[in-house]
Amino acid sequence: MNRLTLILALAATPALADPDPKALKRLVRQDCGSCHGMTLKGGLGPDIRPASLAHYRRDDLTDVILDGLPGTPMPPWRPLLSKDEAAWIADYLLEGDPE
């Protein structure tokens, strides 16, 4: 495998790629938003804006995103997200979107 092929192979592997903020923001708005509301202030799922999540530590929030909340409609995202990506989303939710 030459160097370029290796780089392309790594880039195509979600677990090894760096979190892509643009793609993750879109996922939060569209996928999380489908239950938590477009502006994340609640729908089928509860408000997940920063003030509502203030009691969470970053690691616990990352676990909720990766594993979901069993027995509730909150699904696990482990099949779709790497740990780094889930941690990125946890930070994003805790800090809020500056835009």
Note the residues at the interface with ligand HEC (CB under 6 A): 28, 31-32, 34-36, 44-46, 48, 52-53, 61, 64-65, 69, 72-75, 77, 89
Find the shortest distance in angstroms from Cβ 71 to ligand HEC. 8
Q: CB atoms < 10 A from the CB of 41, how many?
A: 12
Give the chain's count of helices (H) and strands (E): 6, 0
**Between 10 and 38, CB nearer to ligand HEC:** 38
Find the shortest distance in angstroms from Cβ 46 to ligand HEC. 5
CB 38 within 8 A of CB 49: no
Please list, in sequence order, all residues whose beta carbon lies within 8 angstroms of the beta carbon of residue 28, skipping any fewer than 6 positions away.
40, 89, 92, 93
**Between 2 and 72, CB nearer to ligand HEC:** 72
